[in-house]
């Protein structure tokens, strides 16, 4: 066989049109490929992870994140599936905060509170691909400029996110942002994971979870933190050693009951760090697929899919029901702009916000 007769190596980066927004603007899909079929598909609408294919212990591939088959599904219904969240992930109490003596009022889109950036957060924006390539590893960088006053936030914010296959089965996600005025920033990814595979169906209650945190933030019924962290020791929130997600969901614990499961921020050991460190591990006993999450952020919101209500049909014609998937969202603590005792979410001109997130997959 001559060199010209040899089969071409599979492309490690592919760009294509995923659809068009109602105003005619195209939405791109960028596919990044690693080893053993490991593959991530990112769409520009919401800078979202649309699909993530991971091999199991027998090298069988499955898509392990919830998503929609087409752009129309994402546009029609806001469900945060795989999306980039900003300007402020999680909740801000009463939709307001003060910065340098000035009060800012945000849209109240979660009862009286502001959730995930307001009525039209970063998950509803069509980001721009500013760079993409295969060397040394497949990557894509997307950018979005948030204007002064967008959703009530101060300052013009230039945000970017880079997805990179940083190892054979490792996906790195790097968020950065700069502002021309003092502001607040808290960006994260909101992927819903089911390591058994979305197409196969079934929930995540038998997934085994570890979280590197000794404390968590108890919340009110509306998800706003009550105050200081509480130790996890002796509670259903203790995941310092591996536990089944569903093993203690029916415990008579008021914090479990008021949120129909887990929807709480864990205070990661070490607070904010320069480099990413281990934060959590999830294992699906059936397939052997394992996810390790590393981050440099001080908090990790663990959400057990409590409010997936059967009202959304996603990929593979699967209806998203309660506990079908879980979220692990590294971030600054919720409502930090109103809590001087919490890690700061402030960003000043001349500073660069930087959030490093690693998803490391394996099979056991």
Give the pLDDT of residue 9: 60
The model's confidence at residue 5, banded by pLDDT at 50, 70 and 90, is low
Look up the domain containing 32 and give its range.
Answer: 14-363
* Residue 8 falls inside a structural domain: no
* Residue 297 falls inside a structural domain: yes
* pLDDT(1) > 80: no
Mean pLDDT of 162-176: 96
Rounded to an integer, what distance in angstroms lies between the CA atom of residue 152 and that of residue 214? 35
Mean pLDDT of 135-162: 97
Mean pLDDT of 140-168: 97
Are 358 and 298 within 8 A, CB to CB? no
* pLDDT(209) > 60: yes
pLDDT digits (tens, 9 = 90+) for 53-77: 999 999 999 999 999 999 999 999 9
* pLDDT(166) > 50: yes
Which of 114, 132, 116 minimizes the C-alpha distance to 124? 116
The one catalytic residue in 116, 190, 264, 355 is 190
Mean pLDDT of 229-253: 97
* Residue 257 falls inside a structural domain: yes
* Residue 2 falls inside a structural domain: no
Rounded to an integer, what distance in angstroms lies between the CA atom of residue 138 and that of residue 135? 6
At 324, which CATH number?
2.70.98.10
* Residue 156 falls inside a structural domain: yes
The one catalytic residue in 170, 264, 329, 355 is 329
Q: What is the dihedral of CA 77, 82, 84, 88, to 10 degrees?
A: 70
* pLDDT(199) > 70: yes
CA angle, corner 331, sides to 326 and 333, nearest 5? 105
Task: Based on the residue annotation, tell me whether 190 is a catalytic residue of this protein.
Answer: yes
* DSSP structural state of residue 101: T
Rounded to an integer, what distance in angstroms lies between the CA atom of residue 309 and that of residue 314? 13
pLDDT digits (tens, 9 = 90+) for 295-353: 999 999 999 999 999 999 999 999 999 999 999 999 999 999 999 999 999 999 999 99
* Residue 6 falls inside a structural domain: no
Which of 151, 159, 176 minimizes the C-alpha distance to 46? 159
The model's confidence at residue 167, banded by pLDDT at 50, 70 and 90, is confident
Give the pLDDT of residue 201: 84
CA angle, corner 143, sides to 330 and 19, nearest 5? 100
Mean pLDDT of 120-144: 97
* pLDDT(10) > 80: no
Give the pLDDT of residue 2: 45
Give the pLDDT of residue 290: 98
Give the pLDDT of residue 330: 98
pTM metric for this prediction: 0.96
Which of 202, 318, 341, 208 minimizes the C-alpha distance to 267? 341
Give the pLDDT of residue 6: 46
* Residue 308 falls inside a structural domain: yes
Give the pLDDT of residue 251: 93
Rounded to an integer, what distance in angstroms lies between the CA atom of residue 274 and that of residue 121? 27
| Mean pLDDT taken over the chain | 96
* Residue 27 falls inside a structural domain: yes
How many CB atoms lie under 10 A from the CB of residue 147? Answer: 10
Q: Report the number of distinct structural domains present in the chain.
A: 1
Are 46 and 142 within 8 A, CB to CB? no
pLDDT digits (tens, 9 = 90+) for 249-275: 999 999 999 999 999 999 999 999 999
The model's confidence at residue 38, banded by pLDDT at 50, 70 and 90, is very high
Q: 286 is written with which tokens?
A: 């059936």
């Amino acid at each position: 066989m001559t060199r010209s007769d040899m089969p071409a190596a599979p492309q490690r980066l592919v760009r294509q049109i995923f659809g068009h927004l109602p105003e005619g603007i195209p939405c791109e899909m960028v596919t990044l490929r690693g080893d053993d079929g490991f593959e991530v598909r990112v769409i520009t609408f919401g800078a979202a992870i649309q699909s993530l294919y991971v091999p199991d212990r027998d090298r069988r591939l499955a898509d392990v994140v919830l998503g929609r088959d087409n752009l129309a599904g994402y546009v029609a219904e806001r469900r945060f599936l795989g999306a980039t969240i900003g300007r402020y992930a999680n909740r801000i109490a009463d939709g307001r905060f003060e910065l340098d003596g000035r009060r800012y009022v945000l849209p109240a889109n979660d009862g009286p509170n502001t959730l995930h950036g307001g009525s039209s957060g970063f998950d509803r924006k069509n980001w721009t691909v500013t760079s993409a390539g295969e060397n040394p590893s497949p990557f894509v960088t997307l950018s979005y400029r948030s204007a002064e006053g967008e959703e009530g936030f101060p300052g013009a914010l230039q945000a970017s996110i880079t997805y990179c296959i940083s190892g054979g089965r490792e996906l790195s996600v790097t968020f950065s942002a700069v502002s021309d005025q003092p502001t607040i920033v808290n960006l994260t990814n909101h992927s819903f994971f089911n390591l058994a595979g979305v197409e196969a169906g079934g929930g995540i209650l038998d997934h085994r979870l570890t979280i590197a945190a000794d404390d968590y933030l108890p919340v009110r019924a509306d998800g706003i933190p009550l105050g200081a962290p509480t130790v996890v020791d002796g509670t259903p929130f203790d995941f310092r050693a591996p536990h089944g997600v569903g093993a203690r969901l029916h415990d008579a614990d008021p914090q479990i009951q008021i949120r129909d499961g887990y929807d709480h921020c864990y205070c990661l050991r070490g607070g904010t760090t320069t480099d990413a460190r281990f934060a959590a591990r999830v294992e699906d006993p059936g397939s052997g697929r394992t996810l390790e999450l590393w981050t440099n952020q001080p908090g990790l919101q663990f959400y057990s899919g409590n409010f997936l209500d059967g009202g959304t049909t996603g990929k593979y014609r699967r209806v998203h029901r309660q506990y079908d998937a879980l979220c692990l969202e590294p971030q600054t603590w919720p409502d930090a702009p109103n809590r001087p005792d919490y890690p700061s979410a402030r960003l000043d001109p001349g500073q660069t916000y930087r959030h490093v997130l690693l998803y490391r997959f394996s099979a056991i």
